Structure 1
């Protein structure tokens, strides 16, 4: 049975944030989306143990702290490293992909240009993680 997820979306682009929220609404999903506009905001959000999400959707190209830097911080933290972290990016750079896998990401999803394709990908990603057994702390 699919369960409702607490999802932390770390994304600096307002249009991408709106696109995610529109997709969740369109698909009539009951997931809760928390938004952080950069890595610093995400770390501040994650300091509160009550905010620990089920999964993190993380953009790579962000100001202040890049997605890769944030991924490394999360995976080095004993309290956070169990959280499945999925990269959601426009970068199909093989170096980025390899570095993210080495760091311990749970998935690497390229954002498609067409909205319909984006909806299908997000639906698939969220459906997959909503049937997984996830750590609740």
Structure 2
């Protein structure tokens, strides 16, 4: 069984963020945590990249991290489209703490909803916490598969 650090680093992440300046800062944080980060600049681009790699075992994403307020289609709309075909783990990084938006996101089975402004350490801590949840699911599945064998 892989260690948590090895597991987290190996996750393939799709990062959807529109603002190029803050996207570049965020990418640095993500690349410290993950070896494979793909960037999308808007919701439609994010959805299309998700679909492109969905059935490719080597390239399919393990986690999506997105803003809500992004162009073309917003993060909620993108996630609604994704949910029609997959239940991929999903994290929102957002400034939107509107009660209705938060409830929509929860109903769409998100892993985490991180409200900005946050400092880099807070974001890294929240992402790490979410990845620990994924790792727990991964180890439970391995144990279940071993007991069936």
TM-score range, shorter chain: 0.7 to 0.9
Match of 2:73?
65
Are the structure 2 counterparts of residues 103 and 122 from structure 1 closer, same or farther at C-alpha, using a change threshold of 3 Å?
Answer: closer
Q: Which residue of 1 aligns with 2:103?
A: 98
Query: How is 1:1-137 mapped onto 2 (pairs within 5 angstroms)?
Result: 1-2=3-4, 3=7, 4-25=10-31, 28-48=32-52, 49-50=55-56, 51-77=59-85, 81-133=86-138
Give the drift of 1:17.
Answer: 1.8
Q: How far apart are residue 30 of structure 1 and its match?
A: 4.0
- Quick one: distance in 2 between partners of 1:36 and 1:99? 22
Deviation for aligned residue 1:57: 0.6
Instruction: Say which one has the larger Rg.
Output: 2
Asked if structure 2 preserves the Cα contact closer than 8 Å seen for 1:9 and 1:57, the reply is yes
1:52-102 CA-partner distances (Å, limit 9, x unpaired)? 20011121001110101011101112xxx2211111111111111001112
User: Scaled by the length of structure 1, what TM-score is found?
Assistant: 0.80
Q: What is the root-mean-square deviation in Å for CA atoms of aligned residues?
A: 2.3
Whichever structure has more helix as a proportion of its residues is 2
5+ residue gaps, structure 1: none
Which secondary structure does the structure 2 equivalent of 1:57 belong to? strand
Give the TM-score normalised by the residue count of structure 2: 0.74
Post-superposition offset of 1:130? 4.5
User: What is the CA distance between 1:23 and its match in structure 2?
Assistant: 1.2
Q: 1:19 to 1:128 in 2, by over 3 A?
A: farther
